[in-house]
């Protein structure tokens, strides 16, 4: 699913890692690719949802960096 301009879409990927829920914003052609990118970055995480990024809602609740949760830098 590419946008009309041919660019990638942004997806919010929800995941659970070490007992904490969080979400990432990932670019991808479709939801499956976005989920796979998130899983590749954090293989131990459980993917809970994938949806197109919601500009208004995601601006109110921006994605946290998982480096704080996992201790990665």
Beta strand 46-52 pairing with 20-28: unpaired
**Location of structure tokens 């939801």:** 31
**What count of residues does the chain have?**
73
User: How would residue 8 be classed by pLDDT, with cut points 50, 70 and 90?
Assistant: confident
| Residue 37's pLDDT band (cuts 50, 70, 90) | very high
Which phi and psi (to 5°) does residue 22 adopt?
Answer: -155, 175
DSSP code of residue 6: S
Mean pLDDT of 43-59: 84
| Global pTM value | 0.68
Phi, psi of 38 (to 5 degrees): -65, -40
């Amino acid at each position: 699913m590419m946008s009309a301009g041919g660019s990638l879409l942004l997806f919010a990927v929800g995941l659970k890692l070490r007992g904490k829920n969080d979400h990432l914003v990932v670019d991808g052609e479709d939801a499956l690719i976005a989920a796979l990118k998130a899983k590749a970055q954090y293989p131990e995480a459980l993917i809970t949802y994938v949806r197109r990024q919601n500009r208004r809602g995601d601006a109110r609740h921006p994605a946290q960096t998982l480096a704080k949760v996992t201790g990665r830098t």
